[in-house]
Structures are given as structure tokens and as C-alpha cells.
Structure 1
Amino acid sequence: MVIHYKCPNCGDDMAFDSESGMLTCQSCGRQDQIEDFSEDLKTSVLSEDEAKEYHCENCGAALITEAETAATTCGFCGAGVVLQERLSGVLAPAKVIPFTISKEEAMQAFKKWCRNGRLTPKGFMTADRIKGITGMYVPFWLYDLKTKAKVEAVGTKVRKYTRGDYEYTETKYFDVYRDIDLSYIKVPVDASEKMDDKIMDKLEPFPYDQLKDFKTPYLAGYIAEKYNYDDKVLYPRVESKIKNFIESYIRSTISGYSSVSYNHKHINTKKVRSYYVLLPVWMVYYDYEKTEHTFAMNGQTGKVVGKPPISFQKMAAWFGGIAATSFITLKVVALIMGGGLW
């Protein structure tokens, strides 16, 4: 089933407005509260996991979609459409964080970000080569986790002192035990095969206090994808993601020792629950020297991530400046300490 939101007043297309947070008609200005829409996506029939042809209810044009597509725009009339069966049953998201940054605001924020690049080429910093910008709801799994850590270690405290002509070193050994309970709430892992995991990780954090119950009108006018990987497949990733935090916390509880040697460390993490959500991302495609560069922007916070091109001339000048500054600093220190000129 293709869902297409038409304005009851004038019949024009309606789309989600990031500023008001409402389903809005750009022609007559009608606005509808999304919370007032009632849906039952849990009982809908699931589609086959393959590309499928739909038809735009606005102009009748064929919509050829990929298997992951859950919302898109008609290439002929530009209407925003939602593919309900791609968002039903086990594919129904529990929550969504709506966009609060509009396309125009995203363009301006990206241009400002480009101009701040100290080591990027001058031509790139003008930010006048934006090939395209797409608002996309990216599928994520959020995990609530509980971790139990049991630690046995030996800590040493070393004291050195002098008596007469002799210098003594005193080493005391202490048995260290820790029994730690940790809880992690809403740890995100992106579930899209297309998205670069490193880029998606760097877009964090998203404001999870802005999570809302999922309603299809939030997707109107944007692109959305359903997940490629379920929560079981991605569980090793979320465990790996919190591993460093757990290790850091354990170390923080064992302080005041000259050294710590671990005899036994048992860490057990269990999933309390996981839920499927859609998070807002602006994808920016930028042409520079016949190469397309892809950047991502958090649709709530405006944080931009990606790898811009580097100007080797600027890099050489920057490192040269550091070297010159270091030389001058050392020269001044030598003069203060009574040294001669170099």
C-alpha cells in the first residue's frame, strides 16, 4: 500500500515540516498534528524482501524501489510517498526522532562547516559545489544493556626513602576485588547496509529525549529505509561499542596504586531490551575536482561528519608554522636561562 498525504483543503501534497513538527501543506498552509493520526502497522502484511513496483497515487507514475526503501518521493510529480508494508509487522519502527533542521538550514550549516576547514583547499571552502542534499531516516537499533563485572587484581604501593647512606624501596601488595553492576540505556547501532558505520557512529549523540511514537506522517517528504540487520545480528557490535567504557569504568574504581595487575576479570553483558527506531540524517553530496564527496549531518543537532579533501600546501604551511613557533619558543627559553644566541 502506498500512503500519500493530500491536503483536505486544497488537494495539494502535504509533508512533514521540521520547524513546526506538523504535517503541512505548502500551498494553503494547513497544518495537522501528527499525534492525531491513528495507524495499525502491526497487523499489516509483510512485503517480500526484493525490489518492487508501486504506483504514485498522485500522478500514477511507476515507482521502482529497492528492497530497503520505506519512504521516497515520486520522480515525476515530487510527491512524498510512504510504503506502508515496508513499515509493518516486525518492520514497524517503535520510535522516531523527527527532523528539526530544514533543508535550507542544512545547506547553510554545511557551507559554514566547509568554510571552517583550515586544511581544505580554497576552492572547497567556497561550498558552492553541492550536488545534492537528501533528508533520510536511517534505521537504528537502540539497546538497553546490563553488565556485571567481577574483578580480582593485585595492587602495589611503592615508597622510596633514605636512611643514612642507604636508599630503601618499600613495596606493599594489596588484594583488590570489585563486583560491579552497570546499566547502559539507548546504545545506538545503525542497521543499514548502505550506511558507513564509522560515519553513523560519529554522528552521535542524537537527542533521545526527542524520541516519539512512530507515525508514518513523519516520513512524508523524506526518504526512509527499513533495516537490513536485526537486533540479534548487530548485538556483537553493540557489545564491542561499550567494551571500552566498561574497561574505563573498572580502571576508575581502582585508584591510588603504583601498579595494578589483573588476575581475573569476568565481564558479562546481557540485553534488557532492544527497539527499532528511525533517526534523521541529511546526506550531502559535494563535487570537487571531478570527485564526489559524501558527508552526513545529524538532522537534529547539525553535527557534520565526513572526510573533506586536504590541501597539501596548507598542511605544509601549518606544520612549518608549528616548527617555526617551536624554534622561537626554545630560543626565548634559552635566553631566559642564560644561554647564548643560536
Structure 2
Amino acid sequence: MAVVSYKCPNCGGELMFDPKIQKYKCEYCFSDFSQEELEALKPEEGSEEKVESYKENSEKENGEAEEAVVYHCPSCGAEIVTDETTAATFCYYCHNPVVLSGRVSGEFLPDKIIPFSIDKKQATEKFLEYVHSKKFVPKAFFNKQQIEKISGVYFPYWMVDMDMEGSMQAEGRNLRVWRSGDTEYTETKVYRVEREGDVHLEDITKNALKKSNAQLAEGVLPYDVSKVQKFHMGFLSGFLAEKRDINREELSAQVQQEAHEYGEKILRGTVKGYSSVSVKNCHLNQKQENWDYIMLPVWTVTYKGRNGKMYYYSMNGQDGKVYGELPIDYKKVWTLGGIISAIVLILGLIGGYLL
């Protein structure tokens, strides 16, 4: 496996993808390069180093040994250990970005990627805006040290397009009620409804990383797929990245079920003009499906509460949508509750005195 570090051809500094300008930028001489220019660049001699894998003695929860990888930073030579799904990271010593190219090659080479559109400054501002809108968040959540923990990570997903042939049999009812004198009449007309047609579904997106919180990973969906690009390792430079460890076969049944539910909803939506509709049968036969392994941008934040509980938050790196459970400062809740109770008591006393 090789460690790749993209170097600026002007000064030799590290190149990192800048979401604001959608180019690769050198933090030293401030040069920037387009995707086409980066693809024309070749890593400098010595910027790729071989790394070795080994099995740690510690075991995963599922009983399997966890693979770790030792690599040497091409900038400072420091030895760094990563876990088995890390695809891009930073050197802990010189902080230069590195990409573990072997983790994003062969069967683990992503088909597509949506680059970050929101940089760290924008992500921090959006996160603080989200937190400030909540009244009972602990003050410690706002401190600088906490906010600096925000990290940009490319998470792996499977994205599926599917074509199906569908047929549906349903029962439609129209109800009419009227009165004549003292008598109320009800008329119910029952209709047999049938629908047939082709159903095309796009961008069914599923988390492809076992260690990630599935709710957080899918809570930031959907993404604007019109911004998708062909995968290039350069996009990972300057960010963290994880490779997939969930195969498409493991998700196939779930995707099929979800596609069937979507398909039935689409066919059901074509039925109009009835007071009520009851679906009796719905059959959907798959004609074709296409799976893409895609990397999506996510900003992540963690916070350890006073109760020892770890809180996790994710933000869509494209539009800033935040998902996660915020901690509650119960002292603020009790204080506010006490103030409201005191006001109610005072108003009650004043009202009684006036009466």
C-alpha cells in the first residue's frame, strides 16, 4: 500500500482541496490548481511510501481481529498507525494530509464523489447557529476547544438506481351523504382500480461503514447528486476519509424492500378522484439496477456530557444540514421552570388580592 501526498509544484508544500473555490490550494504559497491540473501532476519522488499491515491483539466486538496499518509520513517520516477503514488522514506530528491509496483502489475504488462545498469556517458558523437556536444546551458546548473538534470526513455510501415493472390492484370508494326530511341517506360506490407501468428510482443511498452511526450517516441525506464527480484521490487531501466495509450483498434485501415501498407509493399516487383507496395487491418486478460506491462529505462533532455520555453530530458537507442529539443542561431547565413558577405565583397572589 502507498501513502500519497500531493505537492505544490511551485513551492513543494502540501496541496489540499478547498471547498470554497473548488480547487486544490497550497497553504504556503497560496497557489491553486484545478482538477485537470492536479491530474497532470505526478507525486514527487519519495512522496509515496510502502506501509505494512498487521493484526492487533485486541479483538473487535464481533470477535474478529482488527487490522491496523503502519505507514511513514512522506513529509516528516513519522510512523503512524491507523485502523482498517481509514482512507485519508493527517500526520499527527507535522499535520500534513496523506491519502492511503491502497484503501481506495481495486474493489474499494469509489466510482463517484461529491466534494465538500462548505469549508471548516462555514461549517463552524452553521453548527453554532444550529446550537444557539436551542435554549438548554450546556455552555461548555460553545467553547472554542469544543468547536475546534469539528472534522471533515468523507464517508462511504452505496447509491442505487433501479428500474421496475409494476402492477397494482386496488379498491376505490366514493361516499355521498344527504338528508331528506328526517332521514339521512348514505351512498357508497365501489370501483375496481388497476394500474400498470414502469417505475424508475434514482439515488437510493445507504451507509456503507459498519462503525459509523447509521442514523447520523443517513440523517444528513439527501445530497444534490447533480454535483457528483468521478472519483479522484486528490479530493481526499486535507480531509479524513473512510473506506467501505459493507458489501452490496449485505444491503440488497433492504434496498429491494425500500424500492418496493417507493414503487407502490408511486403507483398509488396515480390514483385520483376517490374518497378512499385501498391497495389489494401490488407486484413490482426488477428489470435493472445499478450500484455506485460513492464518497459523501460530512462534518462531524463529538461532545462528552457531564453524565459521561458521548454525543455525536453530523453535518451535510454540501448544504449544512445538521443531525444529532443535543445534550441538555438541566440546571437551565430547572432555573427557567423556577422563574415561570414564581411569576405564576406572583400573578396569582396579585389576582387574589385584587378580588
Give SS of 1:308's match: coil
Cα distance, 1:53 vs. partner? 1.4
Q: How does 1:144-183 map to 2 (within 5 A)?
A: 144-163=161-180, 166-183=183-200
- Within the candidate set 327, 347, 352, 1:309 is matched to 327
- Is the 1:139–1:227 contact (alpha carbons within 8 Å) kept by the matching residues of 2? yes
Give SS of 1:309's match: coil
- Is the 2:141–2:303 contact (alpha carbons within 8 Å) kept by the matching residues of 1? no
- Is the 2:152–2:239 contact (alpha carbons within 8 Å) kept by the matching residues of 1? yes
Does the C-alpha gap of structure 1 residues 315 and 243 become closer, same or farther in structure 2, counting only changes over 3 Å?
Answer: farther
Cα distance, 1:180 vs. partner? 3.0
Residue 214 in 1 paired to residue 231 in 2? yes
Residue 123 in 1 paired to residue 124 in 2? no
Does the C-alpha gap of structure 1 residues 264 and 316 become closer, same or farther in structure 2, counting only changes over 3 Å?
Answer: farther
Q: With structure 1 as the length reference, what TM-score do the two structures score?
A: 0.82
Does the C-alpha gap of structure 1 residues 147 and 26 become closer, same or farther in structure 2, counting only changes over 3 Å?
Answer: same
In structure 1, what residue type is equivalent to 2:13?
D
Residue 284 in 1 paired to residue 301 in 2? yes
In structure 2, what residue type is equivalent to 1:34?
Q
User: 2:46 aligns to what?
Assistant: none
Cα distance, 1:39 vs. partner? 9.7
Q: Distance in 2 between matches of 1:316 and 1:245?
A: 47
- Within the candidate set 277, 282, 285, 1:265 is matched to 282
- Is the 2:138–2:328 contact (alpha carbons within 8 Å) kept by the matching residues of 1? no
Give SS of 2:167's match: strand
Q: 5+ unaligned residues in a row in structure 2: which ranges?
A: 43-51, 54-65, 341-355
User: 2:29 aligns to what?
Assistant: 28
In structure 2, what residue type is equivalent to 1:89?
G
User: 2:82 aligns to what?
Assistant: 65
User: 1:4 aligns to what?
Assistant: 5
Q: Distance in 1 between matches of 2:122 and 2:293?
A: 28
Q: Distance in 2 between matches of 1:57 and 1:171?
A: 78
Does the C-alpha gap of structure 1 residues 242 and 39 become closer, same or farther in structure 2, counting only changes over 3 Å?
Answer: farther
Does the C-alpha gap of structure 1 residues 166 and 106 become closer, same or farther in structure 2, counting only changes over 3 Å?
Answer: closer
Cα distance, 1:156 vs. partner? 2.3
Q: Distance in 2 between matches of 1:207 and 1:51?
A: 34
* Structure 1, 212-221 or 284-293: larger mean CA deviation: 284-293
Residue 85 in 1 paired to residue 85 in 2? no
* Structure 1, 203-212 or 288-297: larger mean CA deviation: 288-297
Cα distance, 1:165 vs. partner? 5.4
Cα distance, 1:30 vs. partner? 1.8
Q: Distance in 2 between matches of 1:275 and 1:58?
A: 34
Identity score, percent: 33
Does the C-alpha gap of structure 1 residues 315 and 157 become closer, same or farther in structure 2, counting only changes over 3 Å?
Answer: farther
Does the C-alpha gap of structure 1 residues 302 and 147 become closer, same or farther in structure 2, counting only changes over 3 Å?
Answer: same
Give SS of 2:328's match: coil
RMSD: 2.8
- Is the 1:131–1:285 contact (alpha carbons within 8 Å) kept by the matching residues of 2? no
Q: Distance in 1 between matches of 2:333 and 2:182?
A: 59
- Is the 2:209–2:245 contact (alpha carbons within 8 Å) kept by the matching residues of 1? yes
Does the C-alpha gap of structure 1 residues 151 and 127 become closer, same or farther in structure 2, counting only changes over 3 Å?
Answer: farther
Q: Distance in 1 between matches of 2:334 and 2:263?
A: 37
Does the C-alpha gap of structure 1 residues 271 and 295 become closer, same or farther in structure 2, counting only changes over 3 Å?
Answer: farther
Cα distance, 1:127 vs. partner? 5.4
Q: Distance in 2 between matches of 1:214 and 1:101?
A: 19
* Structure 1, 257-266 or 184-193: larger mean CA deviation: 257-266
Q: Distance in 2 between matches of 1:146 and 1:316?
A: 57
Q: With structure 2 as the length reference, what TM-score do the two structures score?
A: 0.79
Q: Distance in 2 between matches of 1:247 and 1:28?
A: 56
Does the C-alpha gap of structure 1 residues 39 and 259 become closer, same or farther in structure 2, counting only changes over 3 Å?
Answer: farther
Does the C-alpha gap of structure 1 residues 109 and 159 become closer, same or farther in structure 2, counting only changes over 3 Å?
Answer: closer
